[in-house]
């Protein structure tokens, strides 16, 4: 456990340091990313940004944990991590009140994204932190417990999903880095709680009676 704690602390610390540094260069970074846009990347990153919704993510991961009998206990911590990430992200957004890059005119928002999300609050709420990044990264510590090989595939998906938010001009890089760090922290805390109290295991035993 001590080794896992040190590893998690290092990951969170590195992400936070990168987030703080990126604050200094957010505008330059997002303008550079905007300059690299193309119809090819538009369609690829649209898939990642839409595929990283909480419903899609946790429907898929729940099915993954249900596949193996002895891993079902982690479904509850997984769902709670996503829910807590959403709530905490929303509360921080209200407090920080940071406008999204396209709202400040720093970059333009693509028509392809606007057409898909014009009726969604996700376009119009505040930028910091990225809720998408928090949700996808909150699953990483839990996957690390039971699906160590698949974890790396998920991390790749999480990175691309988070970057897609920068690509489309709805988040600064610091938004997604801070969101990733906070989401990972929430997921790790849920792992510690489950290992100590086994609440996920107890809930499933109760439901299967």
Give the model confidence (pLDDT) of 133-160 as tens digits: 898 899 899 888 877 778 888 888 888 8
Give me Rg for the CA atoms of the chain. Answer: 18
What is d(CA 176, CA 162) in angstroms, rounded to the nearest whole number?
6
Report CA-CA distances (Å) from 153 to 102, 129, 157, 160: 30, 23, 6, 11
Q: What is the pLDDT of residues 3-29, one digit of tens each?
A: 778 888 888 899 999 999 999 999 999
From 208, 200, 206, 203, select the one nearest 75 (Cα to Cα). 200
Pairwise CA distance, residues 124 & 63, whole Å: 31
Contact 74, 194 (CB under 8 A): yes
Q: Which residue in the block uniquely carries the two structure tokens 């996920």?
A: 200
Domain residue limits, the chain? 2-207
Rounded distance, CA 182 to CA 191, Å? 14
Residue 103, pLDDT > 60, answer yes
- The C-alpha atoms of residue 141 and residue 82 are separated, in whole angstroms, by 12
């Amino acid at each position: 456990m001590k080794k896992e704690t040190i590893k998690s602390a290092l990951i969170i610390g590195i992400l936070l340091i990168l987030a703080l540094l990126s604050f200094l260069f957010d505008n330059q970074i997002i303008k550079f990313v905007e300059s690299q846009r193309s119809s090819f990347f538009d369609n690829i990153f649209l898939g990642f940004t839409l595929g990283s919704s909480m419903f899609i993510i946790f429907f898929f991961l729940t099915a993954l944990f249900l596949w193996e009998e002895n891993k079902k206990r982690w479904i509850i911590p997984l769902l709670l991590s996503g829910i807590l990430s959403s709530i905490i992200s929303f509360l921080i957004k209200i407090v920080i009140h940071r406008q999204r890059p396209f709202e400040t005119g720093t970059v333009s928002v693509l028509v392809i994204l606007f057409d898909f999300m014009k009726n969604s609050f996700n376009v119009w709420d505040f930028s910091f932190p990225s809720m998408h990044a928090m949700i996808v990264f909150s699953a990483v510590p839990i996957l690390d417990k039971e699906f160590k090989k698949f974890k790396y595939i998920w991390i790749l998906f999480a990175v691309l999903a988070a970057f897609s938010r920068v690509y489309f001009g709805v988040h600064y890089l610091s938004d997604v880095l801070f969101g990733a760090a906070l989401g990972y922290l929430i997921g790790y805390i849920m792992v510690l709680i489950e290992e100590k109290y086994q609440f996920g295991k107890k809930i499933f035993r109760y439901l299967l009676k």
